[in-house]
A and B are shown apart, each in its own frame.
Chain A
């Protein structure tokens, strides 16, 4: 490799980090084209990081590598390698910072690119405890960059973007690839702990339309209080087994059927948790139903705010991302249904395979191609 290029190239390791309210999302590029010479020059420290990250799928008690999302044989800045996707709870951030100190990250010639609110919140800790200087990046910039990049490189030969065909028909409803080649204009809905809704008009022209505090954090927070569970997986698992119609008051519970005057179908929810106003019903309700109702309430609400934004912005394609959708087919199908039904087929709900990792991907790209 010519000397010049080597100097320009960012030194390994290549990380991108997105520190959200609930989860830290980390992407790590593992170079697979390391020459013998490089291997020799590679400091011990760096090698051990690479080995540690790539040979494990779990880190400590809470860190997880989403192996199924790994992007193989990716070419990034002239280097070939695999992109790994790792997450751990934001509450373990102090442990992560301690580890950085203990492993002497600061001795490596790299910049740690970080986005998300935590980049700001934990910056002093990184500096003071681990002697690490963070490069703080705007989370929405990173998000959009990440989405566009991952969609362009494709998911190991498959489409990154997909939608649900026949969303209003539970039997026929099927996941289908979607070509997002001409993405603009686009409504981008990021459902993390809270929700941000962006209208994207081009690569670098976007605005945050609005947001809502009723997001993934609300789903989990309420489920923990209502059912005593403690993880997203648990909550989701209960929701899958539950039934929300025992908890919610439906249009048909009030009107005996459809409310025809206003075109409201009998199955529509008239009042979320409305049945819980009644003491007897509260006493006989099961946790699964409560979890399901919470999921449905939060998801539908995001759906209706999104739909109003799409109308106000005059945009007919919506991409939903964020970790609330991780392993959450229930919500995705619900969103697909809601977009389609209430817009009479005018709105299309799209989803991306790497749900919550786009911010961290954007941060990594910023490291390699600073703007």
Chain B
């Protein structure tokens, strides 16, 4: 085996200079190291100039600065035990923080490697109970990683069906298949109980398999099994009955007696067939016990983990099959994307209780995580080379705690994304290529955004490599980070840009466009005010839609904006599709407006510049005049040219200075700005800022407006709310427009009322 580390270690054990709080989980063959670090990275800040003096035409609206900010990050690294010494040496050499005195350790190997750990790292080893670490880790990933759990369907496209996990994760059953099996019922963060177990587990497969086939390694046994035919070794129902046992509903192919045909001295059986039979025997047995326990404790969420599973498609399939058989499909076998890390995460959390990591929300960093990789050589031959490489998971601490939007009709069935690209190969191909083609432009934009920084070009190239590599990985392994969606592709790009210190490539563009649009605000308001009520309503909607054309995230539009500086608001209005729109419930909306005003509207806004200033604000003004309170929700952090919370604060201030309606709205707290908690061009209504959720409840919000392709088409198109909702966007992508049965610049105006 090649024992050299195939990646430069500083790309694996990242950020060691700021690392503290180590934890390690040493299993039978894999070691998982966990640590906490603080990451210093650049963030774009905007600051309003002091406008108490006289206005100057040339001075920009606000000041943009790039500042250093420190955020918390969790690092988890998985590698084969063979590298443990090399890795510990590396960690020791780069460890600066001297406050660290202790390393939390768990796993079967923690005992064996205790001396080595203490000697190499000069840290005291503090052992933690394996099971409680496992459960703690499991709770953590289920709560913080939306696409953590999946159902495995062999031969399906895709084979992984991700489940949207929600904050309410309890109770559940965890079946940990290590050398034996432990069955644990988890009722809350601190309450769990081992309700049962079995001695027939991974150790039985390995031990008995090695005896039967003279094959030493676990992986090789699985390989043998995946090639074998169990029917030559097992006695099937049809071997006894000649067919099915119809009255009991037992089909002929059902195994009546495992190894029942090998009860003879004068026949040889192939290694493959015996391994397969053994695999079925053990998987079925575990599945059966799991079902009996699930039934006894009335639990329907059953997660499987342990080295027997660890991403092996062969065992995931046999376990799934068994669960389906024994529960007649009532219980689904669920697997976890970060199953291998649970122990390390749990041990880490135990050591970090004073930082109280559970009070924060965390997010998977797509840039620093390697994603789900199968270790099964047969399934994914390209990964054979990966043995001896390193697997990483990084999680960023989010500034705000994230919760469900209280207005979701059914949070447990809410799926943000409209299209699952893992299921739709054509759409996947299109979007992957689309993002690849846009990469040059993004790199260019990133470099241009930091004209004063010498290394911008170099970093931008690194960004290009990293993101292109991610796209390539996703081409081969669409399920690597959960369901592949336009949102995840966009978010991955943002994470990669941040990774190379391009916190806000569009900051100057946004500033320029905001500046420009502000100059037209009063003119637009005046022109709308002249109209009669009915015409005004239409003009406002049309203005909003035209404003939404200005989107640097859409390639078709950004090409126009790059080449034609004259492309303005009026031009955009002309380009818009005439009514009837592609999706058109405008008449219903007008009828509704003739009725009593809404109490409070929650408005998820999209782009900076013309969109927010000339599109959104006039409509907000109208709503305020009608007597509706307005909550404007904008991104907490930058994404493309979307307006951020900080920018919107400055813009609103400026608009308020020239518009009495907005001004009085602000002063009377009838117009409120909130941050969404997101830094994505898309919107996940199940992960929103807690403050926003509180406000929505307090103000009795009865209308939600979601604007733009990212938030209303790529995500939330099918989201069902318990109040009225308005989703509007201009389709600025001809492929997508065609898919929806329209042309580029088609309009979606989807107004819905909750069913009574």
B5 close to chain A: CB less than 8 A = no
B343 close to chain A: CB less than 8 A = no
A46 close to chain B: CB less than 8 A = no
- Do A217 and B203 touch across chains, with their CB atoms under 8 A apart? no
Q: A194-B235, A249-B203, A304-B289 are in contact. Are A117 and B180 (CB under 8 A)?
A: no
- Using Cβ atoms and an 8 Å threshold, which residues of chain A touch B288? 210, 212, 305
The interface centre, meaning the residue of B198, B245, B263 with most chain A CB atoms within 10 A of its CB, is B263
- Do B258 and A138 touch across chains, with their CB atoms under 8 A apart? no
- Do B255 and A213 touch across chains, with their CB atoms under 8 A apart? yes
Interchain CA distance A269-B198 in the complex, whole Å: 8
B508 close to chain A: CB less than 8 A = no
B248 close to chain A: CB less than 8 A = yes
A301 close to chain B: CB less than 8 A = yes
User: Count of chain A residues with Cβ under 8 Å from any Cβ of B?
Assistant: 62
- Do A221 and B260 touch across chains, with their CB atoms under 8 A apart? yes
A43 close to chain B: CB less than 8 A = no
B390 close to chain A: CB less than 8 A = no
A226 close to chain B: CB less than 8 A = yes
B-contacting residues, A228-281, CB 8 Å: 228-230, 247-249, 254, 261-262, 264, 268-277, 279
Closest approach, in angstroms, between the C-beta of A200 and any C-beta of chain B?
Answer: 15
- Do A21 and B239 touch across chains, with their CB atoms under 8 A apart? yes
Q: A117-B237, A193-B235 are in contact. Are A213 and B207 (CB under 8 A)?
A: no
- Do A230 and B207 touch across chains, with their CB atoms under 8 A apart? no
Q: A249-B179, A274-B180, A297-B200 are in contact. Are A222 and B239 (CB under 8 A)?
A: no
A214 close to chain B: CB less than 8 A = yes
B9 close to chain A: CB less than 8 A = no
B242 close to chain A: CB less than 8 A = yes
- Using Cβ atoms and an 8 Å threshold, which residues of chain A touch B207? 247, 271-277, 282
Interchain CA distance A275-B179 in the complex, whole Å: 10
Q: A221-B257, A272-B204, A277-B210 are in contact. Are A228 and B240 (CB under 8 A)?
A: no
- Do A193 and B260 touch across chains, with their CB atoms under 8 A apart? yes
A300 close to chain B: CB less than 8 A = yes
A176 close to chain B: CB less than 8 A = no
- Do B235 and A226 touch across chains, with their CB atoms under 8 A apart? no
A-contacting residues, B595-623, CB 8 Å: none
Q: A225-B212, A230-B265, A270-B199 are in contact. Are A117 and B257 (CB under 8 A)?
A: no
The interface centre, meaning the residue of B196, B256, B269, B292 with most chain A CB atoms within 10 A of its CB, is B256
- Do B295 and A312 touch across chains, with their CB atoms under 8 A apart? yes
CB within 8 A of B210: which of A140, A282, A305, A312? A282
Interface size band for B: 35 or more
Interchain CA distance A274-B307 in the complex, whole Å: 14
Q: A221-B233, A273-B204 are in contact. Are A208 and B264 (CB under 8 A)?
A: no
- Using Cβ atoms and an 8 Å threshold, which residues of chain A touch B198? 301, 304
- Do B203 and A213 touch across chains, with their CB atoms under 8 A apart? no
Interchain CA distance A116-B245 in the complex, whole Å: 10
- Do B211 and A22 touch across chains, with their CB atoms under 8 A apart? no
B274 close to chain A: CB less than 8 A = yes
- Do B129 and A261 touch across chains, with their CB atoms under 8 A apart? yes
- Do B241 and A120 touch across chains, with their CB atoms under 8 A apart? yes
A334 close to chain B: CB less than 8 A = no
- Using Cβ atoms and an 8 Å threshold, which residues of chain B touch A214? 200, 258, 281, 285
- Do A224 and B199 touch across chains, with their CB atoms under 8 A apart? no
Interchain CA distance A230-B265 in the complex, whole Å: 5
Q: A301-B198, A311-B296, A312-B295 are in contact. Are A21 and B212 (CB under 8 A)?
A: no
CB within 8 A of B260: which of A21, A248, A273? A21
CB within 8 A of B201: which of A268, A271, A304, A309? A271
- Do B265 and A217 touch across chains, with their CB atoms under 8 A apart? no
B108 close to chain A: CB less than 8 A = yes
A350 close to chain B: CB less than 8 A = no
Q: A120-B242, A262-B194 are in contact. Are A274 and B179 (CB under 8 A)?
A: yes
- Do B259 and A271 touch across chains, with their CB atoms under 8 A apart? no
A290 close to chain B: CB less than 8 A = yes
A158 close to chain B: CB less than 8 A = no
Closest approach, in angstroms, between the C-beta of B519 and any C-beta of chain A?
Answer: 70
The interface centre, meaning the residue of A121, A215, A222, A308 with most chain B CB atoms within 10 A of its CB, is A222
- Using Cβ atoms and an 8 Å threshold, which residues of chain B touch A167? none
Number of A-B contacts (CB under 8 A): 191
A339 close to chain B: CB less than 8 A = no
- Using Cβ atoms and an 8 Å threshold, which residues of chain B touch A194? 235, 255-257, 260
- Using Cβ atoms and an 8 Å threshold, which residues of chain A touch B203? 249, 270-274, 277
A328 close to chain B: CB less than 8 A = no
- Do A193 and B257 touch across chains, with their CB atoms under 8 A apart? yes
- Using Cβ atoms and an 8 Å threshold, which residues of chain A touch B208? 222, 272-273, 276
Closest approach, in angstroms, between the C-beta of B565 and any C-beta of chain A?
Answer: 70
B746 close to chain A: CB less than 8 A = no
- Do A277 and B206 touch across chains, with their CB atoms under 8 A apart? yes
Q: A275-B207, A297-B204 are in contact. Are A117 and B179 (CB under 8 A)?
A: no
The interface centre, meaning the residue of B129, B201, B241 with most chain A CB atoms within 10 A of its CB, is B241
Q: Which residue of A lies closest to B198 (CB)?
A: A304
Residue-wise, chain B 169-198 has the 8 Å CB interface mask toward A (1 for contact) of: 000000000111000000000000010111
- Do A226 and B234 touch across chains, with their CB atoms under 8 A apart? no
- Do A22 and B260 touch across chains, with their CB atoms under 8 A apart? yes
CB within 8 A of B289: which of A225, A274, A305? A305
The interface centre, meaning the residue of A21, A122, A123, A229 with most chain B CB atoms within 10 A of its CB, is A21
B131 close to chain A: CB less than 8 A = yes
- Do B274 and A215 touch across chains, with their CB atoms under 8 A apart? no
A-contacting residues, B88-129, CB 8 Å: 108, 129
Q: Which residue of B lies closest to A216 (CB)?
A: B257
Q: Which residue of B lies closest to A308 (CB)?
A: B292
CB within 8 A of B240: which of A118, A140, A230? A118
- Do A248 and B199 touch across chains, with their CB atoms under 8 A apart? yes
- Do B199 and A271 touch across chains, with their CB atoms under 8 A apart? yes
Interchain CA distance A193-B293 in the complex, whole Å: 25
B580 close to chain A: CB less than 8 A = no
Interchain CA distance A192-B237 in the complex, whole Å: 13
Q: A120-B242, A271-B179, A305-B289 are in contact. Are A222 and B216 (CB under 8 A)?
A: no
- Using Cβ atoms and an 8 Å threshold, which residues of chain B touch A16? none
Q: A194-B260, A221-B257, A300-B199 are in contact. Are A274 and B241 (CB under 8 A)?
A: no
- Using Cβ atoms and an 8 Å threshold, which residues of chain B touch A121? 240-243
Closest approach, in angstroms, between the C-beta of A220 and any C-beta of chain B?
Answer: 4
- Do B234 and A271 touch across chains, with their CB atoms under 8 A apart? no
- Do A21 and B216 touch across chains, with their CB atoms under 8 A apart? no
A218 close to chain B: CB less than 8 A = yes
CB within 8 A of B296: which of A228, A247, A312? A312
Q: A120-B242, A262-B194, A269-B199 are in contact. Are A274 and B204 (CB under 8 A)?
A: yes
A13 close to chain B: CB less than 8 A = no
- Using Cβ atoms and an 8 Å threshold, which residues of chain A touch B266? 230
- Do B292 and A230 touch across chains, with their CB atoms under 8 A apart? no
B387 close to chain A: CB less than 8 A = no
B326 close to chain A: CB less than 8 A = yes
- Using Cβ atoms and an 8 Å threshold, which residues of chain B touch A269? 180, 199
Interchain CA distance A218-B200 in the complex, whole Å: 14
Q: Which residue of A lies closest to B132 (CB)?
A: A261
- Using Cβ atoms and an 8 Å threshold, which residues of chain B touch A261? 129, 131
Interchain CA distance A274-B197 in the complex, whole Å: 15
Closest approach, in angstroms, between the C-beta of B71 and any C-beta of chain A?
Answer: 36
Closest 8 CB pairs of A and B: A276-B207, A221-B259, A217-B257, A117-B240, A271-B203, A217-B260, A121-B242, A230-B265
Q: 7 A-B Cβ contacts within 8 A?
A: A21-B257, A21-B260, A220-B263, A221-B258, A224-B264, A274-B203, A312-B296
19 further interface pairs, Cβ-Cβ under 8 Å (given A118-B240, A217-B235): A21-B235, A21-B239, A21-B240, A21-B256, A138-B247, A193-B257, A194-B235, A194-B260, A212-B288, A213-B234, A213-B256, A213-B258, A213-B260, A218-B257, A221-B258, A225-B274, A276-B208, A297-B204, A312-B295
Residues of A within 8 A of B (CB): 20-22, 116-118, 120-123, 138, 140, 192-194, 208, 210, 212-218, 220-222, 224-226, 228-230, 247-249, 254, 261-262, 264, 268-277, 279, 282, 290, 297, 300-301, 304-305, 308-309, 311-312
